[in-house]
Amino acid sequence: MPEPTEILNEFYDAKESDETLQSFIEKYKDVPEAEPILNTAKQALNNNNSKPVTKKEISNVKYRSAEIPNNTSNPLFQYFRPPGIYVTLPSQGKFYTNKPKLTEQKEILVKAMTAKDELSFKAPDLLMNGESLIDVIKSCVPDIDDPNELPNCDFNVIMLAIRLATYGSELSYSAFCEKCEESNDFGVDVERLLDRIESIPDSYYVQLDQLKVYVKQYTLKSQIKAALARFEQAAITNSILSNDELSQAEKTLEFNKSFNLLARMTYEIVLDSIIKIETPNNEIIDNRAHITEWLYQVGKKQYDAISSKLEEITKDGFDNLVEFNCTKCNEPNKVPIVFDPTSFFG
């Protein structure tokens, strides 16, 4: 069986014409390892039919198809990946240190994944630390300088846009019924989900007595950090429980160390979401060292107020809940779309 890299090289050779692409697809149609590359090959066959959508057609939607820029002399140009779509970001570029490059309509270009992008999601180590996800976003959304800065709402929209540009509107999804716990398979219309995009406010803050604490949504960097912390916590817990050589007192000590590590990581994630603090005399404090020292000295009530505000605002800008009726008990359910690249991109 050929290695994925060999299949990829053969695909690049097959781009020469529609006939060779069709032969390539036929040759590998029953090879599971070739599926990501086959998807790209099928997209290449459809590229010539890609046409821009007129402004009249997009007046009531939050995305539109992109034109293929004819700025290369490469004769294989027509076989490149599809041109992608333009999508509206809920943040409209707010809360970034390096502002994304938006069109006059406040849109950003999202391209389809390449075969190389899809293969990167098969590298467990890169997936675990977020490198694969960051690299794919850089490839598909080149006008965002640092994907780590993506607010949660923009990240959700971009993931959907990449999915739409790469595979089309239909998304197969599975979820358990909350009542009878039956597993249900159902379809989700990605285009309709993107129609739910709403702009988020220019600023968020939480009032803590006399202080006004300005915050922003959790970023992609924060979410990756949180996911890694949860994974490490689970790994440490399993390791402690399975170690029969440790006494109960030693296990308790190790659990305390693990808890302290998770608590510190949680504080860092909240800290990353604090932009600045305004004092009663209108002084703005944005020095990171000063804010860090302050956060580690506040009481639980104040910390919980900040944390609750972050959980609240991180849901703004995009509604990712989908509905389905259970096939077994007919109970109506609402579940969130989870943007896990290992499953979301199939």
Q: Could you read off the pLDDT of 141-153 as tens digits, one per residue?
A: 999 999 999 999 9
Q: Are residues 289 and 338 in the same domain?
A: no
Q: How confident is the model at residue 246 (pLDDT cuts 50, 70, 90)?
A: confident
DSSP for 142-194 reads: TT-S-GGG-BHHHHHHHHHHHHHHHH-SEEEEEEE-TTT--EEEEEEEHHHHH
Are 115 and 146 contained in the same domain? yes
Based on the fold, state whether residues 264 and 344 are members of the same structural domain.
Answer: no
The verdict on 182 and 90 lying in the same domain is yes
- What total of structural domains would you count in the chain? 3
What pLDDT sits at residue 317? 94
Residue 76: count of CB within 10 angstroms of its CB: 12
186 shares its domain with 332:
yes
Mean per-residue pLDDT, 172-191: 93
Q: Which 3 state secondary structure label does DSSP give 214?
A: strand
When the pLDDT of each residue in the chain is averaged and rounded to a whole number, the result is 83
Helices (H) and strands (E) counted in the chain, each on its own, are 14, 11
Contact call for residues 294 and 175 (beta carbons, < 8 A):
no
178 and 68 in one domain? yes
Q: Provide the Cα torsion 173, 179, 182, 186; round to 10°.
A: -20
Q: Are residues 209 and 226 in the same domain?
A: yes
Say if residue 303 is in the same domain as residue 335.
Answer: no
333 in the same domain as 185: yes
Domain co-membership, 175 together with 56 = yes
Grade residue 252 by pLDDT with cuts at 50, 70 and 90: confident
Claim to verify: residue 139 and residue 224 sit in the same structural domain: no
Residue-number span of the structural domain to which 17 is assigned: 1-48
Query: Do residues 7 and 28 make contact, with C-beta atoms less than 8 angstroms apart?
Result: yes
Examine the domain organization and report whether 55 and 178 are in the same domain: yes
